[in-house]
Structure 1
Amino acid sequence: MISNLDEIKVPDSKIIQDAQGIVKEYGNELIWNHSNRVYLFGEIKGMQDNLNYDKELLYITALFHDLGLTEQYSSSDLRFEVDGANTVRQFLETYNYHEHDLQLAWDAIALHTTLGVAEHKEDNVALLYHGVGMDVMGDNWEQYANDIRKAIVNKFPRGDFKHDVIKAFYDGFKHKPETTFGNIKSDVIKYFEPEYPQNNFCSCILRSKWDS
């Protein structure tokens, strides 16, 4: 089990610096700290499990995974995860990434909140999902040494993350609540708007134009 943050080498290339610049310009302290913690938690799991993945791509997707919540990158009609996925694809295309890696990055961000699916995809996709899960909900908590958890939070503070991130989710898609139908983010809308007429899959079936 990794217990020293110095054991982790964070990628530091031109593309990484450019990606960091975008997050610093259009994100905020909450997104910056969360994204870096997500990368570190994902990287540690990848190292400990001896997985085969692209570290640079993992860091870039960690940096970009919540940009769909920002005013700059939020669309009017797509899930925020898809906005982030589209953003990372456009960014990587300017660096002539291969199509396979473009799709891998897109999938990682688009699926990072999709429970029961992302963890069964390619290692890069699964590790972003696990990194997010650890930082947001404490998933796989015991896989991380206490010293490493403390070191990561010391370097990238959480503040009042539990409450701040829920509010950030809401602010990021309250203008398009319909995009949360069928995914866990509908819980966020309901948390802030108890009277919101949450859609229901069974109702969609029963209201269809089919006779039976």
Structure 2
Amino acid sequence: MQMKDVAPPSTPVAAAASRLAGDYHSAAMLNHAMRSWYWARGIAAMECRTGFDEELLLVAALLHDLGTTEAFDNHTLSYEEAGGHAAVALTAGAGWPKSRRQRVMEVIVRHNWPSVDPEMDFEGYLLESATGLDITGARSDVLSANFVDEVLHAYPRLGVAQEFTACVTSQAERKPSTAAHRIVGNGLAEKMRDHPFERRRHVESDL
């Protein structure tokens, strides 16, 4: 499998979501969003799954962490809910029906669940699995090494370990009833520091 085999859809809504993410995210967080798309599509391919909403999944992947940015940081809502509302607003402007707008909200919110049943929400399962892989290293061995290397070369991790840990820790401190508190309490900083892809990045930089 190669990146070209799972290229993102090139629709007007996908382009708008990409511009929105690029306007507000740092390079490290934007790369995380794009890696999340490729990991999600890679997992789907490895599991021989088809028939899911690729455009919706891409919009969700691009905007799932938008609530961590200063402009979209809601003072009471969790960052995944805030990002979900931003996605709803964008897709409403694109003319998506209410049911599909609700779906993009659900997928973004569920990416921070401990797990998602694929029979209940396959797009949610893919995004939760992909973001878990990119942030904590969960299931980091399910994708081929060549595919992983290609994605990491195209979208390097940069300073995502430090940046993501800092912004989610801030969310946890200010909003202790949200998923951010659980994520930090479960060892986010250590998992990001010891991520196998993070270690690979340091090895490559020393070569």
Amino acid at match of 2:176: E
**Cα distance, 1:13–1:182 mapped onto 2, change above 3 Å:** closer
Question: What is the rounded CA distance, in whole Å, between the counterparts of 1:85 and 1:142 in structure 2?
Answer: 29
Question: What is the rounded CA distance, in whole Å, between the counterparts of 2:14 and 2:161 in structure 1?
Answer: 27
> What residue in structure 2 maps to residue 195 of structure 1?
none
> What residue in structure 2 maps to residue 151 of structure 1?
150
> What residue in structure 1 maps to residue 23 of structure 2?
25
Question: 1:94-150: per-residue Cα shift (whole Å, max 9, x none)?
Answer: 112122221211111111111134555321111111110111122222220001111
2:124 is equivalent to residue 125 of structure 1: yes
Matching residue within 13, 16, 28 for 1:15: 13
> What residue in structure 2 maps to residue 84 of structure 1?
83
Work out whether residues 113 and 184 of structure 1, in 8 Å CA contact, stay in contact via their aligned partners in 2: no
> What residue in structure 1 maps to residue 178 of structure 2?
180
**Cα distance, 1:50–1:189 mapped onto 2, change above 3 Å:** closer
Q: Which runs of 4+ in 1 moved over 6 A?
A: 188-191
Work out whether residues 58 and 128 of structure 1, in 8 Å CA contact, stay in contact via their aligned partners in 2: yes
Question: What is the rounded CA distance, in whole Å, between the counterparts of 1:181 and 1:23 in structure 2?
Answer: 22
What is the correspondence of 1:95-106 to structure 2 with a 5 Å cutoff?
95-106=94-105
Work out whether residues 68 and 82 of structure 1, in 8 Å CA contact, stay in contact via their aligned partners in 2: yes
Question: What is the rounded CA distance, in whole Å, between the counterparts of 1:141 and 1:186 in structure 2?
Answer: 20
What is the correspondence of 1:54-93 to structure 2 with a 5 Å cutoff?
54-93=53-92
The two structures have a TM-score, normalised by structure 1, of 0.80
**Cα distance, 1:141–1:123 mapped onto 2, change above 3 Å:** same
Q: Which runs of 5+ in 1 are unaligned?
A: 192-212
The two structures have a TM-score, normalised by structure 2, of 0.81
Identify the range of structure 1 (162-171 vs 131-140) with the bigger mean alpha-carbon deviation.
Answer: 162-171
Question: 1:43-92: per-residue Cα shift (whole Å, max 9, x none)?
Answer: 11112223231111111100000000011111111111111111111111
Work out whether residues 166 and 188 of structure 1, in 8 Å CA contact, stay in contact via their aligned partners in 2: no
**Cα distance, 1:190–1:132 mapped onto 2, change above 3 Å:** closer
> What residue in structure 1 maps to residue 36 of structure 2?
38
- What is the CA-CA distance between 1:15 and the residue it aligns to? 1.4
Identify the range of structure 1 (82-91 vs 49-58) with the bigger mean alpha-carbon deviation.
Answer: 49-58
Structure with higher Rg: it is 1
Question: 1:3-34: per-residue Cα shift (whole Å, max 9, x none)?
Answer: x2222222112111111111111111121000
Question: What is the rounded CA distance, in whole Å, between the counterparts of 1:148 and 1:189 in structure 2?
Answer: 27
What is the correspondence of 1:184-203 to structure 2 with a 5 Å cutoff?
184-187=182-185
Q: Which runs of 5+ in 2 are unaligned?
A: 190-207
**Cα distance, 1:155–1:119 mapped onto 2, change above 3 Å:** same
SS in 1 for 2:9: coil
Question: What is the rounded CA distance, in whole Å, between the counterparts of 1:60 and 1:144 in structure 2?
Answer: 22
Structure having the larger proportion of residues in helix: 2
Q: How many residues align?
A: 188
> What residue in structure 1 maps to residue 168 of structure 2?
169
Work out whether residues 65 and 81 of structure 1, in 8 Å CA contact, stay in contact via their aligned partners in 2: yes
**Cα distance, 1:101–1:153 mapped onto 2, change above 3 Å:** same
